[in-house]
Amino acid sequence: MLAYNDQYVSNLQSASSPRKNLSHRLCLHSDRCRVHSGPGLLRVSVCGAGLRGPAAPGFRGAAGLHFGDPFRHCPKLRDAGIRVAVENYNHDTRDHWKLVSDASLRGENTFELVSPILIGEDGLKELETVCWVLDLCDVKINDSCGFHVHMDAANFNMDTWKNMALTYKRLESVIDSFMPGSRRDNQYCRSLNAISEVKIRSASTISELQRVFNNQRYYKLNLEAYSRHRTVEFRQHSGTTDFTKMEKWIRFLNGLITFAQAGNIPSRTSLENLPFLNDKEKIFFKIRTKKLAR
């Protein structure tokens, strides 16, 4: 089981399903990404990184990944067993990885790498393989890149929505501490500080809760994703090709959502006291906090 502790099972699986049934999807690209889940089973997608290299005709502009001519690098992914295609910019879900253009990032020759839905531990292994290939391709990241995660929210009730929003808001300073300064409050992942807890608690529908967030998607917690994808999007993480960082963040969010199904985190809860992290996960985020405090 993917458990954050003995009480809370990772949201990437059902509480009763074996670990092999864990399901998620990854999207490596700029400030967008999706995650989906079905009944009793959470599916997740993440995205955000930067690849830079020689110019590729038709793929100028900005996107999560900078690594030159996408046609040249597709064979490297395919040689590693990754199904991938170069496509024009789109929001369509595919059954393969896709490299698309994106104008949201700074820099030249930037691209988006978007995953299909990845299933269980095999899906995590595929993600790890992709990260290895990105390293081989000399992928570069800059501070305009984001790693976004969409979690399936199709079966959330209002208590889960409100608990999740309250928990993220109350943990924002903790999360900020293990994020780079560029991801603590910028135009693409705004702080929740100004969001009213009273209004969150009083919302009776998802539409009302979205209005509390001003019907804007550029918050660290994007509720607008529900209207299009039936997901909730977490936009705060910095762009990365580091598999460990990706995996730990995905599991952190899964734990947060699982916890939100039963309650919310009190104000001023410390990293040490987070109930949905195990000891090793706490150590990982403490190390990240220490490094980013320098």
Which H helix or E strand runs over 17?
none
pLDDT at 53 over 90: no
**Helices within 50-119 (DSSP H only):** 70-79
pLDDT at 31 over 60: no
Q: How far apart are the first and last CA of the chain?
A: 36
Q: For residue 40, give both structure tokens.
A: 């009793």
Q: Which residues of 56-87 are buried (b: 16+ CB within 10 A; e: fewer)?
A: beebebbbbbbbbbbeebbebbeeeebebebb
Query: What was the pLDDT predicted at 271?
Result: 98
The DSSP bridge pattern shows strands 44-47 and 84-87 to be unpaired
pLDDT at 210 over 70: yes
pLDDT at 116 over 90: no
DSSP helix/strand/coil, 45: strand
Give phi and psi for 66, each to the nearest 5: -115, 105
Query: What was the pLDDT predicted at 214?
Result: 98
Which amino acid, 178?
Answer: F
Please report which confidence band the pLDDT of residue 151 belongs to, taking 50, 70 and 90 as the band edges: confident
pLDDT at 38 over 60: no
More confidently predicted of 55 and 116: 116
Query: What was the pLDDT predicted at 12?
Result: 30
Specify the range with the lowest mean pLDDT, choosing from 34-48, 54-68, 181-195. 54-68
More confidently predicted of 153 and 53: 153
Give phi and psi for 47, each to the nearest 5: -160, 155
User: Residue 232: exposed, middle, or buried by beta-carbon count in 10 A (0-12, 13-18, 19+)?
Assistant: buried
Specify the range with the lowest mean pLDDT, choosing from 114-128, 166-180, 279-293. 114-128
**Model confidence pLDDT, tens digit, residues 71-89:** 666 888 999 999 999 888 8
Q: Report the candidate in 165, 157, 195 with the shortest Cα–Cα distance to residue 264.
A: 165
Rounded mean pLDDT, 149-173: 94
Please report which confidence band the pLDDT of residue 4 belongs to, taking 50, 70 and 90 as the band edges: very low
Q: Report the candidate in 269, 264, 245 with the shortest Cα–Cα distance to residue 127.
A: 245
Apex 193 CA angle, 33 and 64, nearest 5: 25
Q: Who contacts 154 (Cβ-Cβ below 8 Å, separation ≥6)? A: 36, 37, 38, 230, 231
Neighbours of 251 (CB within 10 A): 24
Rounded mean pLDDT, 219-240: 93
Q: Provide the mean pLDDT of the chain.
A: 77
Specify the range with the lowest mean pLDDT, choosing from 81-95, 186-200, 233-247. 81-95
Integer Cα distance of 264 and 274 in angstroms:
11
DSSP helix/strand/coil, 159: helix
Integer Cα distance of 24 and 123 in angstroms:
7
pTM recorded for the entire structure: 0.79
Note whether 206 and 226 are within 8 A (CB). Answer: yes
Query: What was the pLDDT predicted at 48?
Result: 45
Give phi and psi for 173, each to the nearest 5: -70, -35
